Structure 1
Amino acid sequence: MAECDAEWELCKENIQPLRQGRSVSALHQALCQQQEGNHTALNQQKQSVHQTSRLYFTFESELRLYDGDDPLDVWVRCGLLG
């Protein structure tokens, strides 16, 4: 049982209780800011995935259609080499 109590002490939040409680508007504002930050990070991640996918499909298409003397030319033009 003592181990369980020690584990709880490591996991609980570091917040002092207030006699009058917490301000609902302050809590709401803090949560909204956190959600906006998460939303922005998610959008940036989606854009990055979209750009990577577009680059991959462009590269793959050029690689299939390439008919030249230098087989690494497509790799260099797409920025994957050199």
Structure 2
Amino acid sequence: MTKNITLAVDADLLARFRVLAAERKTTVNALVRQHMAEAVGLEARRSAAIARMLELGNQSTAQIDMSKWDRESSYARGSKA
């Protein structure tokens, strides 16, 4: 099922977007739908990637001794390069 929406956009932006749609031989509606679908898909992939990184981090057995780290030694290590 599709739903209608109403958008308020700058007239110049809409005119340029109509030109873009015409150049792509499509409609403004089709372009908006495509952009919305891409945005939702991107967000879903980003969320899945973050969840996977957290999962891998929780499974890691690596140990870091943070007591040996301080700001001064970090800068000193960086300047030796």
Normalized against structure 2, the TM-score is what?
A: 0.45
Computing the radius of gyration from Cα coordinates, the structure with the larger value is 1
What TM-score do you get using the length of structure 1 for normalisation?
Answer: 0.45
